[in-house]
Amino acid sequence: MKPAFLASAQPEDTGPSNGLLLRLLSSDGPRSRALAALLVVIVLGLAATPFLFGGSQPLGTAAKICVFIALAASYDVLLGYTGIVSFAHTMFFGIGGYGVAIALDRLGPTWTSVGLGLLGALALSAALAAAIGLLSLRVRAIFFSMITLAVASAAAVLASQMSTITGGEDGLSFQLPHQLRPAFRLFAEPVLGLSINGRVLAYFLVFFAALAVFLVLLRIVNSPFGRVLQAIRENEFRAEALGYRVVAYRTAASVIAALAATIAGGLLALWLRYNGPDTTLSFSIMIDILLMVVIGGMGTLYGAVIGATLFVLAQSYLQVLMGWANTALTGVPVLPDLVHPDRWLLWLGALFIISVYAFPGGIVGHLRRRH
């Protein structure tokens, strides 16, 4: 007979009617019609962005959403499913970006360079995550968080100072393989009115790779291994008493999350054709990831999809919307100053504070309770 805290983590049996989709989601469906509809809108919107919107900004925003969905989902494996508060997650994000950037810069713009760079980054991330986990996860949570913060800070300083390898503060710009360059054309004629060039192919590479990372993480957290992680999160002493090696499971979760973050970093580097300290190693990115997970809903993975989408859209378009509002309110006392575009960060912070108070269990938790 399974312990209560393990049995409670089992996904609900929704019957065989959902078929292939349910298996694809590892039997962990949205369990809310509103949430399911929102997820469908996001996924279809991201898939159709190149066909629906012209210009580089919508495509860049959609690519960034895809990358941060994968990154936030990987962090949720630590925070939401295992109860680990780590501040070193952007270090693995940066390792992925630098691995791809250095390989393409030194070895040339080929797919072999991309593969070697990503494999090297994955190996380094796995080794560092395992070392940090085995050496640090035995201490109390707050001390572990401080250790990861110190390691992440050291990595950022190291990347900034090793200018001969990483490009220092300026970072690295590089050429992509021929098939991902804007001049490349996959088809002579447009498809649904869109010319399928290298930039579009690069976007779909990011989209499908991020989708694959998300589905793999979803499978992991819904496996017996994932059940143990949730049991450790709820009561690590009871899990230890039942014979589970808590440090080993936490270390394995750290390695898995690090590998997913490394892939996300490599995808961002490929999309931007650049990587630098501020792009992947900044501590502000760590805060952004934490906000995405908390706002979306911890311990769901679907929360990473919702949180990353809302956060990146707000970052990209809130200032533009405030500019429109400022122009529309011209002549009205006080209001134009309140919605001035220069104050977009103030309103962004206010929106997230309100969302945390309005949805203490995250947006996903709120929608599931309404079901």
How do residues 88-123 score in pLDDT, each as one tens digit?
Answer: 999 999 999 999 999 999 999 999 999 999 999 999
Q: CA 76, CA 294: separation in Å to the nearest integer?
A: 9
Q: CA 115, CA 41: separation in Å to the nearest integer?
A: 32
pLDDT of residue 369: 83
Neighbours of 106 (CB within 10 A): 13
DSSP E strand stretches across 145-227: 172-173
Which of the residue ranges 7-16, 147-156, 243-252, 352-361 would you say has the lowest mean pLDDT? 7-16
Contacts 24+ apart (CB under 8 A), 319-327: 319/344, 322/347
Which of the residue ranges 32-41, 70-79, 131-140, 284-293 would you say has the lowest mean pLDDT? 131-140
pLDDT of residue 76: 96
Q: Identify the three-state secondary structure at position 95.
A: helix
Q: CA 226, CA 301: separation in Å to the nearest integer?
A: 12
Q: Mean pLDDT for the chain?
A: 88
CB 32 within 8 A of CB 368: yes
More confident residue, 352 or 57: 57
How big is the CA angle at 303 (ends 49 and 136), to the nearest 5 degrees? 120
DSSP E strand stretches across 204-319: 274-275
Q: What are phi and psi of 194, to 5 degrees?
A: -115, 130
pLDDT of residue 335: 80
DSSP tag of 277: I
Count CA atoms closer than 13 A to 233's CA, side-chain side: 22
Q: Which domains does the chain have, with CATH numbers?
A: 25-370 (1.10.3470)
pLDDT of residue 115: 96
Q: CA 278, CA 285: separation in Å to the nearest integer?
A: 9
